[in-house]
Structures are given as structure tokens and as C-alpha cells.
């Protein structure tokens, strides 16, 4: 344990509290910070106040201010089950009034001479400096950083707000979940290499270009985290503190059709039309129509006039036979003059101060449930059990953003998540209309609210999505096609579905009686939209593997370009393009009648997914756009890409996947991809019942090396073979662990065989070598090129 001298502590006190410095002889011991280092952490004391400082991960320091030594409970932002303990294996040093705590990734420096805390990265570069620690006891935080550092996070945009500011954040920013479509978090971060997370529900950030300040936070004992690292590292540590996401069911990787204004007969007709046209779909979501809304228990029970086979489970059986999951809307309120309304009133489950208002749908008075009340949450789901057991297997939580409570939507979904997990091992799926950090722990997706139709609205969804992801709302979706404003044009619909195919939650929806099926918009739009949906289904193995990665790493399927190129100033506020996993860059067409589109490609080598044309990165390229048939999606493959695909099916799991075709684009540097699978429906993966196999790829002096690593997990999938399509050359020999593999005359001959082998050919990307090997085995494959195409 180390102590700072009396003279040093007196100087620290004066500077930290903004007071005139007193001579040493005038100082008294009860007005000085004392510093103690023990077990790798630092404690500063001033009278009865304490500031506890310590690393909780190699990249993250926690600073907890304890007025009078007292701590209050953590907010919903912090995951009590995942919160890491303070690291003890931290290097500490005290010399000349300076105490340092350091790991391999970051250093915290307390200087008693000027009363500053300095947070640096592994190279010693100062990221954040904090002066005035005395103000922390008043809940005020101030951190200096390099002038001009780009800042992100804090919040996104509501459904109707102008989103033209993009992703960068400056000025005064309210910390809130906000109105419909908004995503918020007490998190601000920079591509300069740091993040600041505060444990608060509500408050304000003030960003002035060289300082991050926070005020009006919800806890007297200010509790915050300083994170060092690139964006992916920042979100990894945010997930360690705020909680990881459970997996959505595998069917949720597919396509969802929502509709308001429907009955059982029309539902089955629509589903049968999807199947007859072989347009893939997994989920149909019902609006108000499924409920007996306004009658006793009608908030939770079927409308038997419209859905006579709902309560018995017969409708579920009919949809199961068609490969369709059924999800339904839920509202945060109940009617006052009903059995459940009177029960909620008697038990104190209504939100205090929330007076009865006239419901716009039923015309009857309703009140909002207080979902912060644990008993109200249990009560709410208890009445949902019959709907769940009879066939509503997913939840669309609407309108809990109308009461000005940041955690109302979060707690509504918390009621459903905790309730469903208590009675079933079936995975929870939900979407809600706003987001506050912490919600991700409850199988929480969000959508961007009641947005307008039209190209301008569609274009604005890009900034809404990426800014939501910038605060940790990784499972994001939208009303593809637009909700209000009538019927989109065929072109708008087709282009919007292409956009929607490359977002985490792929869903179409419209206002009352609006239909969003592809065939409604004519043959040209149907062809373009159906092709985009089929491409989504071809990529299911790729997409589902990123479901696993999001759970493990905190970073989801979609990520802004800043996540991979944090030092490229040209992507700082780019919302036109984003990464879809590590390997694919997409830039959907969002302008009416567009005939050409200029796209910035970051550093690296890129290949057009559809044409095979190659481009050098670090510059903008211009593509011709099909303004007549709307047949193209600007989609680029990154060098080093590993993209597993499967045959297109009408729904996820329609047929066992016994072979996964893996598109590979070797680069000079080694790249890897963890292929993931599990049963897709239960939480058995939490107990090790999953299949995860690393695949790696690297160009060598004479060809390419492909590796399949050791399998993790106890789940055995249907998968028997990988067919590696290695682009860039035609091999003359292929060996597995030094032994030659048999050669096949063609890809068809290879596919028709019963075992391993290889062949060569050409496709839209040029020369290709196809290698078929057994899955679930650790192997090293060596391909020796005869000639190279790139």
C-alpha cells in the first residue's frame, strides 16, 4: 500500500476543488485527498467521501464516487450477472506524487501534484484527462480529450426527426431512450480510441470539441467507465459491463411480413401465395387484429371472430405445417373498465400519475401499466401465457414510449423475456419502438417507428440504423416500405426491400389495410424484391454465425464503416454504406430513378458480388444503376472474405443443410471466420450445445492455405461437408494434411460424389478452385495454383 505525501495531497485538494492553494502550514488533514493502492486498485479519500478506481478489464477502468462512502444500487444499464470484478493483476507504481495503474492495454495515472487523472492507451498516448475530482461528488463529470476527436454514441433519431446530421455527435446531447424510433445510451465514444460509459438513466452530455462533460445523471454516487481501444474493443467492453445479448431464434434471420387489417382466411391465403411463388418467409406478425381488444381480457386473448382457430392452437398447427411462425402486437396499457383493468387498479399496477385516456382504436379509456414494478411484470405475462401456448411465439411491443420514461419499453420486454423463460425453453423474439442500453439483455430488437413511405424516408433509415448501432442497439429493423403516407411506388418498394435484406431484422409493414407483399407491386418490383429476399436466405449461415458473434463480442451483423476503418476520415460520417459482417460492404440504392451511384470503398481490395469486377479501395467508384428493372444491389466482397452460404429455401430449416458452400477470397494476410450452428430454437447453447468451427484462409507464395479448426460445442448439425470455393486461381494440386485429395472432372461431379475431392472451373469472379472436405474435422488444405486470375 502506498501513500501520497501531505504536501502533495494539499496541492491536489486545491486544484481538484478549484480552491485557492493554501500554504502547507495552513493545510489540515481532513481537507486533503489521501491515496491508497491495494490489490491493483486506487482509492482516493476526502473526509468521508471516497473515489474507488480500478481496472475491471485490461481496457476498462471503473471510477466510482462514493459520497460519505455510500453506494446506491446500479441502474438497469449494468448487468449484475456479467459485471466483471476489479482486476488484481494490475501493475502499480507510486513515485514523486504520481500513482499509475497499468495493464497491457491501458494506463491510469493519478497525479497528486495537479490533481489529475490521466487515461492512456498501451503506447502511452493520452486519451482522456480529468481535472476537478471534487466536482464528482456533485455528479458532474468533465474529461478533456484532443481537440477535434470525432465523437459518436449517446442517441439516434426518432421516427420523424431530421437525421441529416448523420453519426457524429457534438454540442449538448440529452441521454434518453426518447420517442418512437430513438435509441439512446449513456455512452459516448471516439474512433480516436476511447469510450465513456456512465451508469445512469437519463442525464446530459456536453461536447465542446475538446471536452466531454456530463451532468444531471440519475445517481448520487457517480459511477462511470473509461474504455481504451478501437470501436470493436469498446463495444466488447460495453457488453461486458452492460450485458450480452441472448440469441434470437434462427427463423428470425429470415423475412417477416407484418400487416394491420387481416383475418385468418386472408393470412392463410397470403402465406400460401408466398409458398406458391417460392418467395421465402418465416414470420407473419399480426397487428391489433389478433386481439379481442377492448373486451375483458381482450388485451391478451384472441379475436375469435377474425381468428376462430387461434385459441385452440389449430391455426398454429396449420402455420407450422407451412413453416410459418406467428407473432403479435402487444400494448403497454389495458382498458380501465374491464376485469384486468379493475384488477390492475386494485393491485396498484397502473403507472402513477397516468390518467385514463381514450384509446384511438377502441374508443374506450385505457391506462398504462407500471412495468418498473416487478409484480406488475409478472402479472402482465401471466395473462399472456395462453396466447403464447396457442401460437403467438414472438412479440411486437408498441407505444411504450409515450409516457416519457426511458425504461418503459425495456421493462415491458423484460416482463415478456423473464416470463417466457420461466415457462419455456423456446427462444424469445421481440421488437420494441425505442431502446435504452441494458435492453439488449432481454432478447430485444428495435424498429424505427411509424415512418413515412417514399425515397426520402427510406434514405433517412440509414442514419437511424447506424446511429442506433452506435449506442449498442445491434438488433435493429424498420417498417420496410414505410408505415404512413399510403402505398409506396413499385420502385420505392423494390429498392426498400433490397435495403431491408441487409439489416439485422428484415421486416415489411404498413398502415391499416396496407399490404406489403412483393406481388402487390407488379412483376418488376416482385422480381427485384424476391431476388433480394432469396439472397438473404442464401446467406443464412453467414448471418446466423454473426448472431453468435454478437453474443460473444458485443458487435452485431451490421456495423458502420468506422468500426473497421476508425482512422479513415472519409468514413467518419458515412451512412451510405455499411459492413454486413466482416466480409460484405453494402450501399443500397435509395434515390428514385438513379442511373449511377458513387460509393467510397475503404482501404483494401474489393470485388463486386454480382459482376466479379475488382476494385482497389481507398477511393470512390461509380457504378451504373439499373433504373428500369431495379435489379442491382451495390454489394462488395472484401479481400480475405469467408462467406458460408446454403441453398435457398422457402423458410429456415425447411430442409437439412448437409453441405455449406463457402465463398473464399484469399488475401495476403490470414483471415478467419467462426462457422456457427445450433438447434436454432432453444437455449441449449447456453449449456454448450452448439457447433462452432473456425475456418481460416491465406494466400501463399504458390497458392492458398485453408484451415478448418477444432470444433467447439456438443451439438451435432446435419452438416457433412464444406464446399470451399476458393476464388483467384485454378489449382494443379490440392492436399489435406499433406495427402492428395481426389480430383473430380467438374463441380457437378464433385457434388454428385459421396466424399472429398476437388476440381477447377470459372464463375463470375474468374478462376475458382472448389474443394469438398468433411466438416467437423481439423484439417490443413494446401492449394497450389497453376495460374492466377488475381
State mean pLDDT over 748-765: 94
Contact status, residue 269 vs residue 257, Cβ threshold 8 Å: no
User: For residues 716 and 696, what is the distance between their CA atoms, to the nearest angstrom?
Assistant: 21
Q: For residue 11, what is its C-alpha cell?
A: 496541492
User: For residues 74 and 53, what is the distance between their CA atoms, to the nearest angstrom?
Assistant: 16
Residue 484 has pLDDT above 90, yes or no: yes
- What's CA 81's distance to the chain center, in Å? 20
Q: Cβ contacts of residue 743 below 8 Å, gap of 6+?
A: 734, 757, 758, 759
State mean pLDDT over 209-230: 96
Query: Which is catalytic among the residues 282, 287, 406, 450?
Result: 450
User: For residues 48 and 30, what is the distance between their CA atoms, to the nearest angstrom?
Assistant: 9
Task: State what percent of residues in the chain have pLDDT above 70.
Answer: 95
What DSSP character marks residue 250?
G
State mean pLDDT over 609-631: 98
pLDDT digits (tens, 9 = 90+) for 236-261: 999 999 999 999 999 999 999 999 99
Residue 790 has pLDDT above 90, yes or no: no
pLDDT digits (tens, 9 = 90+) for 687-716: 999 999 999 999 999 999 999 999 999 999
- What's CA 371's distance to the chain center, in Å? 24
Single pTM value for the model? 0.94
- Residue 428: pLDDT band with limits 50, 70, 90: very high
The predicted structure's pLDDT at residue 92:
95
How high is the mean pLDDT of the chain? 94
The predicted structure's pLDDT at residue 563:
98
Active site residue 661: no
Residue 8 has pLDDT above 50, yes or no: no
The predicted structure's pLDDT at residue 4:
35
User: For residues 236 and 267, what is the distance between their CA atoms, to the nearest angstrom?
Assistant: 42
pLDDT digits (tens, 9 = 90+) for 251-310: 999 999 999 999 999 999 999 999 999 999 999 999 999 999 999 999 999 999 999 999
Residue 32 has pLDDT above 80, yes or no: no
State mean pLDDT over 569-577: 98
- Residue 371: pLDDT band with limits 50, 70, 90: very high
The predicted structure's pLDDT at residue 134:
80
Provide, for the chain, the percentages of residues in helix, strand and coil under a 3-state DSSP scheme, each rounded to the nearest 5: 25, 35, 45
* DSSP string over 338-380: SHHHHHHHHHT-BPTT---EE-TTT-SEEEEB-TTSHHHHHHH
Residue 551 has pLDDT above 90, yes or no: yes
The predicted structure's pLDDT at residue 87:
92
- Residue 24: pLDDT band with limits 50, 70, 90: very low
User: For residues 465 and 456, what is the distance between their CA atoms, to the nearest angstrom?
Assistant: 15
The predicted structure's pLDDT at residue 445:
98
Higher per-residue confidence, 371 vs 134: 371
* DSSP string over 234-268: HHHHHHHHH-PPPPPPGGGGSEEEEESS--HHHHH
| Helix-helix angle 264-277:314-321, to 10 degrees | 10
The predicted structure's pLDDT at residue 787:
59
User: For residues 396 and 418, what is the distance between their CA atoms, to the nearest angstrom?
Assistant: 16
Query: Which is catalytic among the residues 401, 411, 574, 677?
Result: 401
Active site residue 398: yes
Contact status, residue 726 vs residue 666, Cβ threshold 8 Å: yes
Q: For residue 752, what is its C-alpha cell?
A: 454428385
Residue 637 has pLDDT above 60, yes or no: yes
The predicted structure's pLDDT at residue 590:
98
Contact status, residue 393 vs residue 325, Cβ threshold 8 Å: yes
Of the listed ranges 114-118, 122-126, 231-235, 446-450, the one predicted with least confidence = 114-118
Active site residue 401: yes
The predicted structure's pLDDT at residue 94:
93
| CA proximity to 244, closest of 82, 47, 394 | 82
pLDDT digits (tens, 9 = 90+) for 305-347: 999 999 999 999 999 999 999 999 999 999 999 999 999 999 9
Query: Which is catalytic among the residues 398, 632, 650, 677?
Result: 398
Amino acid at each position: 500500500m502506498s501513500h501520497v505525501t501531505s504536501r502533495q495531497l494539499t496541492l491536489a485538494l486545491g486544484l481538484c476543488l478549484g480552491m485557492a492553494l493554501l500554504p502547507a502550514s495552513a493545510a489540515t488533514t481532513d481537507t486533503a485527498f489521501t491515496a491508497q493502492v491495494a490489490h491493483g486498485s486506487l482509492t482516493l479519500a476526502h473526509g468521508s467521501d471516497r473515489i474507488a478506481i480500478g481496472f475491471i478489464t485490461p481496457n476498462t477502468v471503473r471510477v466510482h464516487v462514493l459520497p460519505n462512502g455510500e453506494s446506491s444500487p446500479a441502474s438497469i444499464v449494468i448487468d449484475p450477472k456479467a459485471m466483471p470484478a476489479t482486476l488484481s493483476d494490475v501493475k502499480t507504481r507510486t513515485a514523486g506524487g504520481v500513482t499509475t495503474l497499468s495493464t497491457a492495454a491501458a494506463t491510469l495515472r493519478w497525479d497528486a501534484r495537479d490533481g489529475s487523472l490521466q487515461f492512456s492507451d498501451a503506447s502511452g498516448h493520452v486519451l482522456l484527462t480529468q481535472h476537478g475530482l471534487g466536482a464528482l461528488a456533485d455528479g458532474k463529470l468533465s474529461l478533456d480529450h484532443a481537440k477535434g476527436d470525432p465523437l459518436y454514441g449517446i442517441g439516434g433519431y426518432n421516427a420523424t426527426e431530421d437525421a441529416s446530421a448523420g453519426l457524429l455527435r457534438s454540442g449538448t446531447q440529452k441521454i434518453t431512450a426518447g420517442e418512437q424510433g430513438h435509441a439512446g445510451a449513456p455512452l459516448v465514444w471516439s474512433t480516436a480510441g476511447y469510450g465513456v460509459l456512465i451508469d445512469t438513466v437519463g442525464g446530459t452530455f456536453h461536447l465542446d470539441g475538446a471536452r466531454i462533460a456530463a451532468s444531471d445523471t440519475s445517481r448520487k454516487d457517480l459511477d462511470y467507465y473509461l474504455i481504451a481501444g478501437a470501436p470493436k474493443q469498446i463495444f466488447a467492453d460495453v457488453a461486458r459491463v452492460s450485458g450480452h445479448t441472448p440469441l434470437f431464434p434462427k427463423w428470425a434471420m429470415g423475412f417477416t411480413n407484418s400487416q394491420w387489417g387481416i383475418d385468418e382466411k386472408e393470412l392463410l391465403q397470403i402465406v400460401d401465395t408466398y409458398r406458391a411463388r417460392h418467395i421465402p418467409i418465416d414470420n407473419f406478425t399480426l397487428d391489433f387484429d389478433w386481439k379481442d381488444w377492448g373486451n375483458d381480457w381482450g388485451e391478451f386473448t384472441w379475436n375469435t371472430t377474425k381468428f376462430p382457430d387461434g385459441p385452440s392452437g389449430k391455426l398454429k398447427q396449420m402455420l407450422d405445417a407451412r413453416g410459418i411462425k406467428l407473432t403479435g402486437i402487444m400494448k403497454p396499457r389495458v382498458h380501465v373498465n374491464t376485469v384486468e383493468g379493475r384488477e390492475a387498479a386494485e393491485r396498484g399496477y397502473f403507472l402513477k400519475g397516468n390518467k385514463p385516456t381514450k384509446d384511438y382504436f377502441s374508443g374506450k379509456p385505457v391506462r398504462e401499466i407500471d412495468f418498473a414494478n416487478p409484480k406488475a411484470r409478472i402479472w402482465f405475462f401471466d395473462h399472456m401465457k395462453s396466447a403464447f401456448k396457442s401460437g403467438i411465439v414472438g412479440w411486437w411491443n408498441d407505444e411504450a414510449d409515450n409516457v416519457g420514461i426511458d425504461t418503459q419499453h425495456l421493462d415491458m420486454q423484460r416482463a415478456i423475456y423473464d416470463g417466457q423463460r420461466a415457462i419455456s425453453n423456446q427462444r424469445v423474439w421481440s421488437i420494441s419502438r425505442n431502446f435504452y442500453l441494458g435492453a439488449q439483455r432481454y432478447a430485444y430488437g428495435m424498429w424505427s417507428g411509424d415512418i413515412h413511405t417514399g425515397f426520402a424516408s427510406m434514405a433517412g433509415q440509414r442514419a437511424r440504423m447506424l446511429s442506433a448501432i452506435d449506442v449498442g442497439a445491434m438488433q435493429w429493423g424498420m417498417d420496410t416500405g414505410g408505415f404512413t403516407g399510403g402505398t409506396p411506388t413499385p420502385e420505392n418498394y423494390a429498392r426498400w426491400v433490397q435495403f431491408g435484406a441487409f439489416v439485422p431484422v428484415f421486416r415489411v409493414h404498413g398502415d391499416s389495410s396496407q399490404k406489403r407483399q412483393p406481388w402487390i407491386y407488379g412483376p418488376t418490383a416482385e422480381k427485384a424484391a424476391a431476388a433480394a429476399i432469396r439472397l438473404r436466405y442464401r446467406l443464412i449461415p453467414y448471418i446466423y454465425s454473426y448472431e453468435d458473434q454478437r453474443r460473444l463480442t458485443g458487435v452485431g451483423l451490421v456495423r458502420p464503416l468506422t468500426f473497421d476503418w476508425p482512422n479513415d476520415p472519409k468514413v467518419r460520417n458515412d451512412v451510405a454504406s455499411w459492413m454486413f459482417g466482416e466480409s460484405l460492404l453494402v450501399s443500397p440504392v435509395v434515390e428514385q430513378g438513379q442511373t449511377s451511384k458513387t460509393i467510397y470503398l475503404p482501404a483494401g481490395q474489393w470485388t463486386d458480388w454480382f459482376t466479379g469486377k475488382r476494385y482497389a479501395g481507398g477511393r470512390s467508384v461509380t457504378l451504373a444503376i439499373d433504373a428500369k428493372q431495379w435489379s442491382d444491389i451495390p454489394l462488395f466482397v472484401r479481400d480475405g472474405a469467408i462467406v458460408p452460404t446454403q441453398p435457398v429455401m422457402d423458410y429456415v430449416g425447411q430442409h437439412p443443410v448437409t453441405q455449406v458452400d463457402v465463398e473464399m477470397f484469399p488475401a495476403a494476410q490470414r483471415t478467419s471466420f467462426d462457422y456457427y450452428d445450433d438447434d436454432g430454437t432453444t437455449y441449449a447453447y447456453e449449456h454448450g450445445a452448439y457447433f462452432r468451427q473456425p475456418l481460416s484462409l491465406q494466400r501463399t507464395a504458390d497458392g492458398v492455405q485453408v484451415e478448418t479448426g477444432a470444433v467447439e460445442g456438443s451439438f451435432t448439425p446435419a452438416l457433412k461437408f464444406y464446399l470451399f470455393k476458393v476464388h483467384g486461381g485454378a489449382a494443379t494440386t490440392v492436399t489435406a494434411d499433406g495427402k492428395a485429395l481426389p480430383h473430380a472432372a467438374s463441380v457437378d461431379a464433385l457434388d454428385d460424389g459421396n466424399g472429398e475431392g476437388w476440381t477447377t472451373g470459372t464463375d463470375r469472379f474468374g478462376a475458382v478452385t472448389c474443394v469438398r472436405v468433411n466438416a467437423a474435422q481439423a484439417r490443413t488444405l494446401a492449394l497450389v495454383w497453376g495460374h492466377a486470375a488475381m
